[in-house]
A = this chain, B = another copy of it.
Amino acid sequence: MEDKPYVIGLDLGGTNSVFGIVDAEANVIASTTIRTAGQDDINVYIENCCKALAPLIEKVGGIRNIKGMGIGAPNGNFYTGNIELAPNLPWKGIVPLSKLFSERLGIPVVVTNDANAAAIGEMTYGVAKGMKNFIMLTLGTGVGSGVVVNGELVYGSDGFAGELGHVIVDTSPEARLCGCGRRGCLEAYCSATGVARTAREFLSKRADDSELRRIPLDEITSKDVSIAAEHGDRLACDIYAFTGHLLGRSCANFTTFCSPEAYVFFGGLTKAGHLLMDPIKEAYDANVLNIYKGKAKLLISQLDDAKAAVLGAAALAWKI
């Protein structure tokens, strides 16, 4: 019997659920999207997913040609297959996601969190191909991470390892409050929302002109900062310098754990290119312990944003 030639990847986000049927060469053969938001009943959600998937599965010759399904989801637990206490998803408590999909589709289903899926995607198809030790940092609405050691994703004792967005990077009492309820987390500074907060802080504290002043203070997004920085706006560039500096300094600390071959940055903020990467590199070199100096590569993911999460989830399914 031939090996089954396809897998299903699901990038399960708070707003949308994006499905792709993927072959072994990382081609997305078919894809579809349904809304996640508002689907408060998990059983109805699963039903809707399977309905949306049905024509895609038919297109590749039926479920017998599909090896399995990989899901990247916030607070997805690789060990249990559950989503546990995800603050941005409609379902509260513990949801046995892999069990529900597996029973409905009749194929094996694995779950991991979205940043871990991105790391697996990067290792399978991206700039981390062939690397045995690297750290993936996803700079989106929050800061996610996937840590790869000895060629394997680090899940830890409970399946929840790799939450570097919640390392405390500012220990001062006036450090920013994070969504997790603690102060000074990396995510409170170096996510898209963190960048918008930095913009509001800088605009309030500083007196110099900036095109960002044309936008109402509480409406500024990281996208606005990015556009202004592209125009050479000084204040906007300083926001990236601040963000990159903090990221570089934090990565210097992370290196003491696992001395990775590379850091791979992914997500909206990396669109700023050298405006973000130059201060990251500068702060990393200035802060890393002597024995590690000049060793780790600092890379931007080259995977297409729209596809990367689905490909990462799909890559997980190939390992079933």
Contact = CB atoms under 8 A, between A and B. Distances in A.
A254 to B, nearest CB: 8
Contacts of A84: 291
B289 A147 contact: no
A86 B166 CA distance: 33
Count of identical protomers in the assembly:
2
B147 A150 contact: no
Interface string A191-222: 00000000000000000000000000000000
Contacts of A149: 149-150, 154, 156
A259 B167 contact: no
Contacts of A260: 156-157
25 contacts: A85-B291, A133-B156, A133-B161, A147-B257, A149-B149, A149-B150, A149-B156, A156-B259, A156-B260, A157-B259, A157-B261, A158-B259, A161-B256, A162-B256, A163-B256, A163-B291, A164-B257, A166-B256, A167-B256, A170-B171, A171-B172, A172-B172, A180-B289, A257-B257, A257-B258
Given A149-B150, A157-B260, 9 more contacts: A157-B295, A162-B256, A163-B256, A163-B291, A166-B256, A167-B256, A168-B249, A168-B253, A180-B289
A99 interface: no
A277 interface: no
Given A85-B291, A168-B253, A259 B160 contact: yes
Contact of A258 (B85, B161, B170, B252): B161
Contact of A167 (B132, B162, B182, B253): B253
